[in-house]
Amino acid sequence: MPIIDVHQLTKSYPVAIREPGLKATLKHFFRRTYRQIEAVKQVSFSIEPGEVVGFLGPNGAGKTTTLKMLTGLIHPSAGQVSVAGHRPFARSPQFLNQITLVMGQKQQLIWDLPALDSLRINAAIYGLSDAEFRQRVGELAEMLSLQNQLNQPVRKLSLGERMKAEMLAALLHRPQILFLDEPTLGLDINAQVAVRSFLQDYNQKYGATVLLTSHYMADITALCDRVLVIHQGSLIYDGLLENLLDRFAPYREVTVEFARNQNHDQNQNHNQNHDQPISPETLKPFGDLKSLEGCKATFLVRTEALTQTVSKLLNSFTIQDLTITEPPIEDIIGKVFKTGQLS
């Protein structure tokens, strides 16, 4: 059975409508009018035990709202949710013992105390014995390479060390379901790699289920085979990351370095050549212009038009170098976010 089962999950918020001006302000004070904002719209999916699933979407798409409903922090407006056989918003102790929520922009450790003191508080909350506490802290600290930092005040830890300590605190009760909202936010490359490696090890060692949101696509590609994509509150894709990328396989990235002096043939019928500077307007017919820096331009071009586009470029401009590659995964996902479409 799925460990997370979501059916037609919906969350809407009433937002007060306020117009400018003194009269409107007085009216707003005595008699407010509201409109409904749908943050999440009839989202349905299921996740099996032990899966690591990426949850993708642009800012404001509804990712964090969905995670908060799955963890019981907010009540859904409609739909049904089951997490580990529990209704999250009932917030039963049995449910809370099986989950954790890590938010990269939030902290639970006490700023002026050593991290170890905050961990002792967490251990008491979850009813861990002294032996369990020492064993789990030692094990997690070794996995996170954090053995020498736990006795330092949290405020003296680096951002990467602090995030690792937050992760340790969140996993001290050994949850089976991890909801991770931007766990590597703001970390440098080395710290990001360390957190990803730890999550892989934790998943393999304990069979934990992970639902992960991140704007760092390296997190997703390193940890997740399957992704959910949400756009403007609606789930637009649920499947393998590889298949999502295949939807954009018709696109190739074409990078062109133009010669500085161009003899651009504007009118072949009259056989007249004109010097013309490289500009977005002159390059618009050749594909989706991604960037233009000096004499170097990068396009996204559909595969079926690739040969024709390259030939047209060579005939229209004096070119020093031309390369064709597959677009980076960030660009592919970004295009999905921008259009909300998968084709």
Q: What is the pLDDT of residues 57-103, one digit of tens each?
A: 888 899 999 999 999 999 999 999 999 999 999 999 999 999 999 98
Count of residues for the chain?
A: 343
Q: Are residues 290 and 225 in the same domain?
A: no
Q: Averaged over 25-49, what is the pLDDT?
A: 89
What band does 304 get if pLDDT is binned at 50, 70 and 90?
confident
Q: Are residues 96 and 173 in the same domain?
A: yes
Buried b (16+ CB within 10 A) or exposed e, 163-188: bbbbbbbbbbbbbbbbbbbbbbbebe
Q: Are residues 69 and 208 in the same domain?
A: yes
C-alpha torsion 180→182→183→188, nearest 10: 160
* Mean pLDDT (the chain, rounded): 87
Q: Are residues 235 and 287 in the same domain?
A: no
Q: How far apart are CA 266 and CA 273, in angstroms?
A: 6
Asked which of 240, 263, 280 is the last residue of a domain, the reply is: 240
pLDDT tens readout for residues 155-186 = 999 988 999 999 999 999 999 999 999 998 88
Domain that holds residue 299: 251-325
Q: Are residues 168 and 257 in the same domain?
A: no
Domain CATH code at residue 67? 3.40.50.300
Domain CATH code at residue 298? 3.30.70
Percent of the chain with pLDDT over 70: 92
How many domains does one find in the chain?
Answer: 2
279 pLDDT higher than 90: no
| Range scoring the smallest mean pLDDT among 17-26, 210-219, 270-279 | 270-279
Q: Are residues 283 and 229 in the same domain?
A: no
**Greater confidence, 7 or 275?**
7
Q: Are residues 165 and 195 in the same domain?
A: yes
Residue 58's contacts (CB-CB under 8 Å, 6 or more residues apart) are 231, 337, 338
18 domain-assigned: yes
- Whole-model pTM: value is 0.75
244 pLDDT higher than 70: yes
187 domain-assigned: yes
The SS3 of residue 142 is helix
- Helix runs in the chain, H state only: 22-30, 63-70, 93-96, 115-125, 130-143, 159-171, 189-206, 217-223, 241-246, 280-283, 306-316, 329-339
Sign of CA dihedral 34, 39, 40, 42: positive
